[in-house]
Amino acid sequence: MEALIGLFGELFGLEGTLALSAAYAVCIGSILGFVTVYSMFAIWMERKVAAHIQVRMGPMVTGGWHGWAQSVADAVKLLFKEDIIPTRANAFMFWIAPAVVFCGVFAGLIVVPFAVGVQVVDLHLGVFFIIAIASIEVIGVIIAGWASNSKYSLFGAVREAAQVVSYEIPTATALLVPILVVGSFRLNDFNTWQAEHHWLIFHSPWLAMAALIFFISSLAGCKRAPFDLPEAESELVSGFHTEYSGMRFSFFFLEEYTSMFVAALLTATLWFGGFNLPFVDSSAWHPALAMPIGIVVLLAKTFFFIFVQMWLRWTLPRLRVDQVMSMGYKYLVPWAFVALIATAVWDYYGWGWLPL
Amino acid sequence: MEALEMFTSDRNADVYTEELKLNLGPQHPSTHGVLRVELAMDGEIITDSWCDIGYLHRCAEKIGENVTYLQFTPYTDRMDYLASMNNNLAWSLTVEKLLDVEAPERAQWIRALVAELNRIASHLIAFGTYGIDLGANTPFFYAFRERESIMQLLEKISGARMLYNFIRPGGVANDIDDAWMDEVSAFCDDFEKRWVEYNTLLTDNFVFIQRTANIGILTKELALSNGCTGPVLRASGVKWDLRRDVPYLEPYDECEFDIPVGEGTHGTLGDCWDRYWVRMREMIESVRIIRQCIEKIPPGAHMEKSMVKMYKTPLKPPPGEAYVRCENPRGELGFYVVSEGGNSPIRCRTRAPSFCNLSVLDKLLPGTMLGDAVATIGSLDIVLGEVDR
Amino acid sequence: MGAIRDYFGNISSALTSTAKGMGVTLRHYRKEPPITIQYPFERFPVPDRYRGLHILEQEKCIDCKLCAKACPVDCIEIEAEHHGRILEWTQFSIDYKKCIFCEFCIPPCPVDCIHMTTEYELATEDPDGMVEDLLTWTGLRPQDQRALEEAAARKAGKVVPDAAASKPSAEGTSAEDMAAKIAAIKARMGKKD
């Protein structure tokens, strides 16, 4: 960020607020571009992973090599589709819901450090910010469900509200565990701590448990199977976005895949070393070398977790509403607190677990 | 129920609660066709349900009274389109009973062989779509892989992939050869391995058991009083299978096979899991029957000689009536036919297993949740083509 | 105690069964070859017995209409004028909107002139084009015309110029001709798409 401001100052003589705005515009534009390209890739990946698990081939024709352009074609098709707003729907709310949903998740990406220095804002409360801003998405979904004036949408929205709000407790509690060890909310501190010590997943069994709890509850937060109740195709047709079509529908899609990305990225950053390579000390490297390697390493880790999310989706059946709730409150929440307290005790006595 | 009691349902009050009527179908991903169920919902809990059928009514029974006995055979394909062979078989047996003819021995063995193959195919659909109903998409594709093998096998002998029209009054349309039977036994070997895999993937899955055990409990009494048959009845603990109790084909008398019944392994007897598990085990029993059929099949004609002329001149059974029932994958399929000696029957009535099995749905749904409704409908394994005919 | 055992049992069975299921899907992901094919570019083999579109050996057909009578859905329309043994054809069409491919039109044929091919692609944008005329020619063939004229001439008491030339030639029964007919059906279906 600072580097960008400096760059604008040098190149165009911009100063103060002007340079800041220009730098923000560039950052947001690049994140937006990244999210779009990533979503297209993730959708293509999802289809390929699903197809290969299901002994199919998936898209093979569009674009030549293994149908790589299928998502592009889908995006073009969605762009040109007629924009339908149901007659009885609340048009303004119906219109604004996809934007609200997308903004919440998109904003979370601002604080993410992709590599040394590749970060829009280095917030001190980075983790907190992501969790907080991602909650806005629920409001958007409820708006969408209510404004659609469809019973299926309403069911989906209410399910989403109950589920996501409940699962924020284990998510946040599980996130507190690595925060407790590192002693900071800042995402960059996790990278430096894990570069200096070891990956947090190996710190103690409680951190591994916290990672599992976070991963499971983040699935629920992303509305991924086995927690895809708000969409629940076989029960609610398509859940809260039943009435949406065209570009608005694709915003919900973007949101789903972006939140998957954020969840996977948090898992990678907080527990799996962030942009650090295992067994390699990259702190002394030249930034020009460390930056691309850091981005690649982080994205590789993230995509591994995204793959696991997809793998789970195509393996498991869907839970029922009350089972989702009981799983959250009876299993994840207590164990998240157990992990938190046990980590506190563990670190107080300075026990080691693995010879790291 | 709870929410409705917590707040007032007085409509003059500022805040009041009311039932939500949810229309499940006729166009819905999980109603297995064009079934419409109107649900009264209290939040996620179903308080009442009304089943609405008839969206796929094609007057099959009336058509039966206007076409010849032979010409009705392809129409029976289209009733339970997932088990055409079994429907052909029931109709052919009815016409044979009316004519007092019996199919040659080899034809009977071929009939049993293809009927059991089709039973596996039909149960595979039940297994796969049940997975989809509960949100597990992958088992469906594995089931379709094996079903595709069966369809290709049956395509080789009958010439069609789904609506076979293979079993006809007097025998079967074509003879089968040894090469084909080798392929069938190769399929059986493969299928048994796959079957274990299905169980690892879906049957033993914790989430799947949570979703199906103790859901949609169909008691023995309710099942019997509603005329449920097939796996739905057997899952409730009644050991009733026409293949064993009223052997309508010679092989069923001679082959060894077990009748799987529900045991309430993971919950209560007669719940969704039991119905599902009975179907799964029936597939393995069918494989056993197929193996024995391949071993014991006698040489001979595949069609009764006196019946070959039916293609040119319509069959004219003597006046009388006949009712024959067969064990279909979905239960007891019966055809009741009355002849006055003409070209076509004057009454042609079908006792469809899906129709009777569906009649318990309204009694199973109240008190369960929306997700359970989908699980219950799926576990009854209805085919709307047969319900509405 | 039972409740506590259930609680931990639930956790362990949830984790183990999920892991086992994921093992199955991973094995499929990595090892199992796809069973689907790229349909328009490659196709599954169709068995010889397949019940697809019909073809008619018109030379053999005697216009007995048994196939039309056998049809459960009345989709075959036959129209021809009889000049003794020679037929003047107007129509032999099958309405594929109605046809259910039950095969009942094949066995009744006394001269074995109607067959089913393995052609199964019926999709078309034009439903009216689904009424398929199976005739290779309509009206009278030249040799039939000649034969009829000769018969008329013989009736009138005139001398027949050349008896050998008037015999109808046995054309259109060879395997190549059948293949050509199938190709013609394909071409016609292709044109409608």
Does residue A9 have a pLDDT over 70? no
Residue range C85-97: average pLDDT? 83
SS3 (DSSP) at B348: strand
Q: Flag whether B41 is in a domain.
A: no
Q: Flag whether A7 is in a domain.
A: no
Output the pLDDT for position C191. 40
Q: Flag whether A287 is in a domain.
A: yes
pLDDT band at C192 (very low <50, low <70, confident <90, very high): very low
Q: Could you tell me which residue, C193 or B307, shows the higher pLDDT?
A: B307
Per-residue pLDDT tens over the stretch B327-370: 889 889 999 999 888 888 888 888 889 888 888 988 888 888 88
Per-residue pLDDT tens over the stretch A288-308: 777 788 888 888 888 999 999
Q: Could you tell me which residue, C82 or B209, shows the higher pLDDT?
A: B209
Q: Which residue of A61, A314, A331 is in closest CB contact with C25?
A: A314
Percent over 70 (pLDDT), chain C: 81
SS3 (DSSP) at B347: strand
Q: Flag whether A37 is in a domain.
A: no
Write the DSSP assignment of B288-325 as a string of letters: HHHHHHHHHPPPS-SB-GGGGGGGTS---PPSEEEEEE
- How many Å lie between the alpha carbon of C131 and the closest alpha carbon of chain B? 21
Per-residue pLDDT tens over the stretch B199-224: 988 888 888 888 888 888 888 888 88
Whether residue B138 and residue A53 make contact (CB cut-off 8 A), yes or no, is yes
Q: Which residue of A316, A330, A331 is in closest CB contact with C21?
A: A316
Task: Indicate the burial class of C161 (C-beta count within 10 angstroms; 0-12, 13-18, 19 or more).
Answer: exposed
Pinpoint the alpha helices (H) of C86-192. 142-155, 175-192
Give the integer Cα–Cα distance in Å for A15 and C78. 90
Does residue B2 have a pLDDT over 60? no
pLDDT band at B123 (very low <50, low <70, confident <90, very high): very high
Q: Flag whether B173 is in a domain.
A: yes
Find the range with the poorest average confidence among A112-121, A225-234, B93-102.
Answer: A112-121
**Rounded to 10 degrees, what is the CA torsion of C91, C92, C97, C102?**
160
| DSSP-derived secondary structure letter, B187 | H
Q: What is the CATH number of the domain that holds B277?
A: 1.10.645.10
Residues in chain A with CB shorter than 8 Å from the CB of C28 are 52-55
Q: Which residue of B72, B145, B204 is in closest CB contact with C17?
A: B204
Q: Flag whether B36 is in a domain.
A: no
Does residue C189 have a pLDDT over 60? no
Q: Flag whether B37 is in a domain.
A: no
Q: Which two tokens stand for residue B362?
A: 């309204």
* Residues whose CB is less than 8 angstroms from the CB of residue A37 and which lie 6 or more positions away in sequence, other chains included: none
Residues in chain C with CB shorter than 8 Å from the CB of B138 are 25, 28
Cβ contact B121:B149 at 8 Å: no
Alpha carbon distances (Å) from C82 to C61, C108, C153, C173: 12, 21, 18, 21
Chain C interface, best mutation among B68, B72, B201, by max C CB count within 10 A: B201
Q: Flag whether B221 is in a domain.
A: yes
* Sheet containing strand C86-95, strands side by side: C76-83, C86-95, C131-133
Q: Flag whether B272 is in a domain.
A: yes
Give the integer Cα–Cα distance in Å for C193 and C182. 17
Average per-residue pLDDT in chain B?
Answer: 86
Give the integer Cα–Cα distance in Å for A335 and A52. 35
Residue range A68-81: average pLDDT? 87
Angle at the Cα of C145 (from C139 to C148), degrees rounded to 5?
115
Output the pLDDT for position B5. 57
Question: What's the domain range around A238?
Answer: 81-348
Residue range A316-339: average pLDDT? 88
Whether residue B159 and residue C47 make contact (CB cut-off 8 A), yes or no, is yes
Residue range C94-120: average pLDDT? 85
Cβ contact B55:B384 at 8 Å: yes
Q: Flag whether A34 is in a domain.
A: no
Domains defined along chain C, listed by start: 54-139+171-188 (3.30.70.3270)
Does residue B89 have a pLDDT over 50? yes
* Residues whose CB is less than 8 angstroms from the CB of residue B383 and which lie 6 or more positions away in sequence, other chains included: B32, B33, B79, B80, B81, B82, B330, B354
Give the integer Cα–Cα distance in Å for A158 and C50. 52
Residue range A210-234: average pLDDT? 84
Angle at the Cα of A346 (from A342 to A351), degrees rounded to 5?
150
Average per-residue pLDDT in chain A?
Answer: 83
Cβ contact B343:B118 at 8 Å: no
Per-residue pLDDT tens over the stretch B30-60: 777 788 888 888 878 888 888 888 888 888 8
Percent over 90 (pLDDT), chain C: 0
Residue range C95-101: average pLDDT? 86
Pinpoint the alpha helices (H) of chain C. 2-30, 66-70, 142-155, 175-192
AA letter at A265: L
Q: Which residue of C14, C47, C107 is in closest CB contact with B206?
A: C14
SS3 (DSSP) at A188: helix
Angle between helices A91-108 and A246-271 (to 10 degrees): 20
Q: Flag whether B6 is in a domain.
A: no
What pTM was estimated for this model as a whole? Answer: 0.85
**Residue C123 burial (CB count, 10 A):** 9
Q: Which two tokens stand for residue C57?
A: 């050996």
Q: B226-264 b/e with 16+ CB inside 10 Å = b?
A: bbbbbbbbbbbbbebbbbeeebbbbbbeebebebbbbeb
Whether residue C18 and residue A51 make contact (CB cut-off 8 A), yes or no, is no
Output the pLDDT for position C193. 37
**Rounded to 10 degrees, what is the CA torsion of C98, C101, C107, C109?**
40
Whether residue C108 and residue B67 make contact (CB cut-off 8 A), yes or no, is no
pLDDT band at B124 (very low <50, low <70, confident <90, very high): very high
AA letter at B97: K
Does residue A55 have a pLDDT over 70? yes
**Residue B51 burial (CB count, 10 A):** 18
Cβ contact A220:A324 at 8 Å: yes
Cβ contact A132:A171 at 8 Å: no
Residue range B237-264: average pLDDT? 86
Output the pLDDT for position C184. 64
Give the integer Cα–Cα distance in Å for A182 and A190. 7
Rg value, chain C, Cα: 29
How many domains does chain B contain in total?
1
Task: Indicate the burial class of A345 (C-beta count within 10 angstroms; 0-12, 13-18, 19 or more).
Answer: exposed
Residue range A90-107: average pLDDT? 85
How many domains does chain A contain in total?
1
Find the range with the poorest average confidence among A243-252, A332-341, B268-277, C171-180.
Answer: C171-180
Q: Which residue of A55, A236, A317 is in closest CB contact with B131?
A: A317
Residues in chain C with CB shorter than 8 Å from the CB of A312 are 18, 22
Cβ contact B315:B70 at 8 Å: yes
**Rounded to 10 degrees, what is the CA torsion of A178, A345, C16, A305?**
10
Q: Flag whether A58 is in a domain.
A: no
Q: Flag whether A277 is in a domain.
A: yes
Q: In terms of Cα–Cα distance, which of C72, C155, A133, A40 is closest to B76?
A: C72
Q: Which two tokens stand for residue B332?
A: 């007891």
Does residue A169 have a pLDDT over 60? yes
Q: What chain A residue is nearest to C8 in terms of C-alpha separation?
A: A331
Beta bridge partners of A50: none
Output the pLDDT for position B1. 47
Q: Flag whether B189 is in a domain.
A: yes
Q: What chain B residue is nearest to C9 in terms of C-alpha separation?
A: B206
Cβ contact A254:A36 at 8 Å: yes
Output the pLDDT for position B120. 92
Q: Which two tokens stand for residue C96?
A: 């594929």
pLDDT band at A353 (very low <50, low <70, confident <90, very high): low
SS3 (DSSP) at C162: coil
Pinpoint the alpha helices (H) of chain A. 2-12, 16-53, 70-80, 91-108, 126-134, 136-147, 151-182, 187-196, 205-221, 233-236, 246-271, 287-313, 321-326, 333-349
Q: Flag whether A124 is in a domain.
A: yes
**Residue B201 burial (CB count, 10 A):** 26
Chain B interface, best mutation among C18, C103, C119, C120, by max B CB count within 10 A: C103
- How many Å lie between the alpha carbon of A312 and the closest alpha carbon of chain C? 7
Does residue A132 have a pLDDT over 70? yes
